[in-house]
Structure 1
Amino acid sequence: MHNEPLAYRMRPRNLNEIVGQQHIIGKNTTLYKMIQNGHVPSMLLYGEPGIGKTSIAYAISGSSNLPFFSLNATHAGKKDVEQIVTEARISGKVILFLDEIHRFNKLQQDTLLPHVENGSIVLIGATTENPFHDVNPAIRSRCGEILQLKRHTQQDIAQLLTNALADTERGLGKHNIIITEEQIEHIAMASNGDARKALTLLESVYYASDEEDGQTIVKDHTIEHLAKRIGVYGDKGGSHFYNLLSALQKSVRGSDTNAALYYLAHLLENGDLIAVCRRLLVMAYEDVGLANPAVGAHVYAATESAKVLGLPEARIPLANAVIEMCLSPKSNSAYAALDNAIAAIHDGKTGDIPPHLRDGHYAGAKVLGHIGYQYPHDTPIGTFGGWIDQQYLPDNIASLEFYNPVIAGEEKRMAAIYERLKGFKKK
């Protein structure tokens, strides 16, 4: 057993050994009570790597009397599923833990689903992807519980590390390791909420430390060196990656510079530079918009520079772009106005283009009545340029307004012009 990694050996053996995730499996939860009373429901466990999906499945198995089987959907075949179905017929009921369940194909589903439905197989599926996007609805509908796990707190991770250091049977307790609470906290912080990374780092630190007089002395520099190598969860194209993009945009929209830089750092560590540049460019027009029209050009220049430079230098122009957008006045009025116009069309608020606006650059246009257009440039109005009062919308929707200005930044000036032109029309 001690040939297995420490993270594998320290998996909880029952529900009471689970650290963290108390919101879904704590002693006061309905799920805990159901399992303790002998009823294990089918469920989906959703969350990032290293936060306890597999551990919870094994702990549930340890707290029930049902035969337990584990498959990974990325390489399990129909034959594997059929063997478990056969075992379910013999045993009456079994638990199947299916990792990466979003990769389950239709043939495998067709073999498994009837047995999940009749209760002979209790399905515990685990996925890093949003189950409402990536898990087949047929499977989703047969799982009574869809449980989203949270990233472990630093306190949770420190507890896991302390348990591993004390456990003489499965952990490192039989070794005389000299490690301080501050060093345990350092490892917990470096793991970024990932229990597997934390235990792996602890094991690496143990094997990299020197032994003196029968004691293994952990040094700070050993932790610092190894912590740099544990990496960041790289979920390109997955749910976590899109959650990071969403968090970045919402932080910029909320003008929180520090949060925006934090999420930008995460995204760049994942390495998908193109997706980040694309999202930043959208944000310049969606969230800053007319309040600071120059930002669009600035962000475009920053993102193009980032693509030319590549990582790690790309972070420099992107940091400039993010901070400028955070601290800029903001308006979403332009795209909101267009969305209002699109909604009006979908609601049937349409009409004929006024004759004077139709194409008149061909012989016969006058015969069709395409006349009467007045050229605004021929009628200057103050320093604004050319303007003339004529109707542009179809007759039956001429009174509709889609644009609602935001009085912020540069748009404050534009809003004043918009209101003044409306006043001229009324006159």
Structure 2
Amino acid sequence: MKPLAYRMRPKKIEDIVGQQHLVGPGKIIERMVKARLLSSMILYGPPGTGKTSIASAIAGSTKYAFRTLNAATDSKKDLEAIAAEAKMSGTVVLMLDEIHRLTKPKQDFLLPHLENGSIILIGATTENPYISINPAIRSRTQIYEVKPLTAADITQAINRALTDTTNGLGDLDLEVSPEAMTHLSQATHGDLRSTLNALELAAKSTPPNDEGQIILDLPIVEECLQRKALVQDKDGDAHYDVISAFQKSIRGSDADAALHYLARLLEAGDLISVNRRLLTIAYEDIGLANPAAAARTVSAVTAAEKIGLPEARIPLANAVIELCVSPKSNSAIQAIDAAIADIRAGNYGDVPDTLKDAHYQGAAKLGRGTDYKFPHDFPHDWVKQTYLPQKIKNKQYYQPKENGRIEQAFKKQYELLKHAQK
């Protein structure tokens, strides 16, 4: 039998769970499908977030033939067979998994078919395509990020699986407790494939009670997911409460409290949330007061990902303690948020002519870059000139703090440079 996650793949674009920034009304993929003007694309994001589902739904909505291959394991002959099919019967939508592992011979074979549109390529990868995918493929595709599903998205998919009598579990007399439902929706961090397969395992391996009903409670779901819940929390807030307390304890410089919440998260097997949160904290809350701590946090998270639990607790504890005892500064996040607020409010002007691109014929006639002063040609590699648009030339986004000798030094240098620019 095919797994539940496979059986529940959407047949049309309206059935896709999540990813509304791509498939919602008026969004880019929905527009392509509606106009039947598909272009090749690369979808990148974490496992189980719907990359294959989007490809399947696109093909179903447009009635094109849909084929799937794996760039790592399928051969050039498999690609040739799909190209022959496209030549005989028309456009084929090809879902190519692990596209970052596409070899040059396969790539060279595909390129002309992408050019003439006989194959609509939908590549899927968990890797950053701007780093891992050959520029020749990138230049012929649109690149879209697929984001982790929210708990609400996963709950929607679970309920659909529980009621679907054709492809889901709707033919079973099945009840999922509120605590088990909350854990199913949160524990896989947006990986719907893992959630649905754990749900099916739980449903098929749990004997019915005396009334013939299968009851899935929290312990059963924990066992099938192989992830413990933080607490039995009917409202689903405990998971986020612990993560919030973890960050706030580090921000408040309480190492013992931070280690306590770290332990709770690790005991629940939630290495992903710990790593994400630590990287955010390092740059958001410690920031310029101790930049080296951020670099060491990145190293600790990388080590934790490579060695896994339980050993991952060691580099993570190192990072947590250092972040707690470090001086704190949120000046960087405040600076960028202030700049973004100006952009969103329309408070910006034209790039000064001296800074505009001058690497094309005729740029000098337009006055582009002609008066630019190259700082490295001047003493101390600095020269006074205007960089901000004239409309906001005196704007100051960065407000330095003095909560550590490093940002104290940054503050002194920043103020010297600002004064010299006047």
- Runs of 4 or more, structure 1, over 4 Å off, are 254-258, 260-268, 276-286, 329-332, 396-401, 404-407, 412-415
Match of 1:179 in 2: 176
| Cα drift, residue 198 of structure 1 | 1.2
Amino acid at match of 2:72: T
Whole-angstrom CA distance in 1 between matches of 2:188 and 2:278: 27
| Cα drift, residue 180 of structure 1 | 3.2
Alignment match of 2:31 (pick from 30, 33, 38): 33
Whole-angstrom CA distance in 2 between matches of 1:278 and 1:329: 15
| Cα drift, residue 314 of structure 1 | 4.0
Alignment match of 1:203 (pick from 193, 196, 200): 200
Amino acid at match of 1:44: I
Pair 1:155–1:256, CA change in 2 (3 A): farther
- Structure 2 SS opposite 1:211: coil
Alignment match of 1:269 (pick from 265, 268, 271): 271
Post-superposition Cα deviations, 1:132-167, rounded to whole Å, max 9, x if no partner, equal: 222211111112x32111211111100100000101
Whole-angstrom CA distance in 2 between matches of 1:201 and 1:100: 24
Contact 2:286-2:329 at 8 Å conserved across structures: no
Whole-angstrom CA distance in 2 between matches of 1:22 and 1:57: 15
Q: What TM-score do the two structures reach when normalised by structure 2?
A: 0.63
Contact 1:330-1:409 at 8 Å conserved across structures: no
Specify every segment of 5 or more residues in structure 1 that has no aligned partner in the other structure, as ranges.
232-250, 333-345, 351-395, 423-427
Contact 2:287-2:328 at 8 Å conserved across structures: no
Superposition map of 1:339-354 within 5 A: 347-349=375-377
Q: What TM-score do the two structures reach when normalised by structure 1?
A: 0.63
Whole-angstrom CA distance in 1 between matches of 2:311 and 2:73: 35
Pair 1:268–1:22, CA change in 2 (3 A): closer
Amino acid at match of 1:130: N
- Structure 1 SS opposite 2:208: strand
The worse-fitting range, judged by mean Cα deviation, of 98-107 and 175-184 is 175-184
Match of 1:367 in 2: none
Match of 1:71 in 2: 69
Amino acid at match of 2:201: S
- Structure 2 SS opposite 1:97: strand
Post-superposition Cα deviations, 1:37-93, rounded to whole Å, max 9, x if no partner, equal: 433221111111111000111111111222221111111222111111111211232
Specify every segment of 5 or more residues in structure 2 that has no aligned partner in the other structure, as ranges.
230-246, 333-373, 385-397, 417-422
- Structure 1 SS opposite 2:154: helix
Whole-angstrom CA distance in 2 between matches of 1:12 and 1:179: 23
Match of 1:53 in 2: 51
Whole-angstrom CA distance in 1 between matches of 2:143 and 2:262: 27
Alignment match of 2:10 (pick from 9, 12, 17): 12
- Structure 2 SS opposite 1:328: coil
| Cα drift, residue 25 of structure 1 | 0.7
Whole-angstrom CA distance in 1 between matches of 2:114 and 2:47: 26
Amino acid at match of 2:65: P
Contact 1:92-1:120 at 8 Å conserved across structures: yes
Post-superposition Cα deviations, 1:289-337, rounded to whole Å, max 9, x if no partner, equal: 49xx9x89x99xx99xx99x95434433332112223x535899xxxxx
Pair 1:220–1:409, CA change in 2 (3 A): closer
Superposition map of 1:1-400 within 5 A: 3-143=1-141, 145-212=142-209, 213-229=211-227, 269=271, 287-289=288-290, 310-325=311-326, 327-328=327-328, 347-349=375-377, 397=380
Whole-angstrom CA distance in 2 between matches of 1:180 and 1:408: 52
Amino acid at match of 2:405: E
Whole-angstrom CA distance in 1 between matches of 2:165 and 2:191: 23
Higher Cα Rg: structure 1 or 2? 1
The worse-fitting range, judged by mean Cα deviation, of 82-91 and 52-61 is 82-91
Pair 1:8–1:263, CA change in 2 (3 A): farther
| Cα drift, residue 121 of structure 1 | 0.9
Pair 1:18–1:256, CA change in 2 (3 A): farther
- Structure 2 SS opposite 1:63: helix
Post-superposition Cα deviations, 1:221-280, rounded to whole Å, max 9, x if no partner, equal: 21233333499xxxxxxxxxxxxxxxxxxx99x95889x99999799937xx9xx99999
Contact 1:18-1:59 at 8 Å conserved across structures: yes
Taking only aligned residues, the RMSD between alpha carbons, in angstroms, comes to 4.8
| Cα drift, residue 410 of structure 1 | 4.8
Amino acid at match of 2:328: S
Contact 2:187-2:227 at 8 Å conserved across structures: no
Whole-angstrom CA distance in 2 between matches of 1:31 and 1:279: 31
Pair 1:194–1:397, CA change in 2 (3 A): closer
Amino acid at match of 1:328: K
Q: Once the two structures are aligned, what percentage of the paired residues are identical?
A: 36
Contact 2:195-2:225 at 8 Å conserved across structures: no
Match of 1:373 in 2: none
Pair 1:283–1:83, CA change in 2 (3 A): same
Contact 1:9-1:171 at 8 Å conserved across structures: yes
- Structure 1 SS opposite 2:17: coil
Whole-angstrom CA distance in 1 between matches of 2:97 and 2:224: 29
Contact 2:49-2:192 at 8 Å conserved across structures: yes
- Structure 2 SS opposite 1:409: coil
| Cα drift, residue 177 of structure 1 | 0.7
- Structure 1 SS opposite 2:33: helix
Whole-angstrom CA distance in 1 between matches of 2:160 and 2:407: 63
Match of 1:408 in 2: 402
| Cα drift, residue 207 of structure 1 | 2.7
| Cα drift, residue 101 of structure 1 | 0.9
- Structure 2 SS opposite 1:178: strand
